[in-house]
Amino acid sequence: MKGPHGVPDHPQAAATVANPVIAGFHPDPSVCRVGDDYYLACSSFEYFPGVPVFHSRDLVHWTQIGNALERPSQLRLSADTLSSAGVYAPTLRHHDGRFWLIVTVVADGGGNMLFTAADPAGPWSDPIRLPGLPGIDPDLAWDDYGTCWCTVAGVGQVRIDPRTGETFGELHKLWSGTPGAAAPEAPHLYRIDDYWYLLIAEGGTERGHGVSIARGPAPDGPFEPCPANPILTHRSTGHPVQNTGHADLVQAPDGSWWMVLLGVRPRGGTPGWHVLGRETFLAPVTWVDGWPVVGELASGTPDGSAVADRDDFDLAELQAYWISVRSRPADRCTTKERPGWLTLRARGPSLDDPDVTFLGRRAQHLKWRARTLIDPTRGRGGLAVRLDERHHYEIEAGDGRVQVIARIGSVRTVVAEHPFPAGPLVLTVQTGGPRVPGEARAEPDTLSFGIEGLPALATLDGRYLSTEVAGGFTGRVIGMYAATGTVHFDWFDYEAMP
């Protein structure tokens, strides 16, 4: 069955999609297709390496193939870089036989930068800087004459030379979105049949988030808005996926159209707390009278994309999903010093410090358990769940004792302590349900910390490690850290729980 644009309709397609397609803190998805292969990139904010890159053959099952910004020459985030600053909103495109990635780096010495690669798995080039391009959320689109148009949040546009970073002329205002709607941002420009389409997010990235679209005869307009805007929003609904927006369109080889977008899964009582960050979702798109119509966002969840559940640190290089806070100096984080172990050397004295030595992975499930075998003989460190410097929980071993520590806003406290002989031990953290399900103030979950083989030392309220409490743009990251000296970790295990 063909739609008005001569592409197949797929009214049943949404039923086959288990969302989110990339679970956990993977926001601001941008997608492109090359032949039968899809590639997708996400924001990474204050974490290093930056911009995770994924591959899929069906838009549903994604595998991380690398990180675009993995060298200090590509990305330098100093200790002064605030949490939820750093790398914003990539656009990933394929043009003229190469992959192109443009991002905004919110940090000293940052700005808008462009990177290229022959292979999306890397290596990616060092940055091509665009000092004449203001704003965030930059997009790339090429017209039939080879002119490259860059559109930014606001929504403004300027022509650029993507090989040099030169801009031509002043930023031209295109469209401000729906009158009265806040924050027109995340623009993406496409040539589809007879029109140029301008897709944006608006309403802010919280509960009012939505997707709107306009079309015009040329890449620089003029643009007329879709009469059905917003074409996607879950604001003021009871849908289990909220904050839907920051979308990108892609056409499949069979001619069907799809939208990737970010959303969150709030839980608990009022107002609802989301703890995994903004995740990547998928929805089908059909065309009616030359406008895209977004199908149902199926909410059945696979609860996580495929990643290794256990890392024994037997490889010389770390897996692509491991991330650190702002930087990862090789002399502070290595698997090469003690074969089969991860070695962390302390910088900042705790997770309160923006310069902490930390290696973590994004939490991707609503219920999960993480464990690690730690040897703190020559230092002190542990297993942590981090949202930012002011919101984290951890279990820390060293100096003959194990402590559970909570940092909530301006308050830092040791909530439990247990003596333990020197030497290796297994630390654990596990999520559980709210203490009083259905109660108006019920937490989204609880987190229990302990030593394997013993009762939990402490169970803490999960709402304080949520975006609704902490603010910002990220989600929970679970990992290992060193607070003093040198700490070794033999393995790390992460698994979903029923």
- Catalytic residues, by residue number, are 28, 185
Burial 25-59 (b: 16+ CB within 10 A, else e): bbbbbbbbbeeeebbbbbbbbbbbbbbbbbbbeeb
**Which are the contacts of 26, defined by CB distance < 8 A and separation ≥ 6?**
20, 42, 52, 277, 278, 279, 280, 362
Sheet of 139-142, strand order: 139-142, 148-152, 156-161, 166-173
- Rounded Cα distance between 498 and 20, Å, is 17
Sheet of 257-264, strand order: 242-251, 257-264, 279-288, 291-294
**DSSP assignment of 49-92:** SEEEEEEESSSSS-EEEEEEE-STTT----TTSPTT-EEEEEEE
Alpha carbon 41 to chain centroid, angstroms: 9
Q: Calculate the dihedral angle through the C-alpha atoms of 233, 55, 298, 265, rounding to the nearest 10 degrees.
A: -60
- Contact (CB, 8 A) for 248 and 230: no
Burial class from Cβ neighbours inside 10 Å (0-12, 13-18, 19+) for residue 311 reads buried
- Contact (CB, 8 A) for 186 and 247: yes
Bridge partner residues of 386 (DSSP): 392, 477
How many other β-carbons are positioned within 10 Å of the β-carbon of residue 428?
20
- Contact (CB, 8 A) for 50 and 67: yes
- Rounded Cα distance between 258 and 286, Å, is 8
- Contact (CB, 8 A) for 441 and 270: yes
Q: Give, in order, the Cα–Cα distances in Å from 78 to each of 8, 85, 177, 355.
A: 49, 11, 35, 8
- Contact (CB, 8 A) for 87 and 50: yes
Tokens of 52: 């995770």
Bridge partner residues of 418 (DSSP): 402
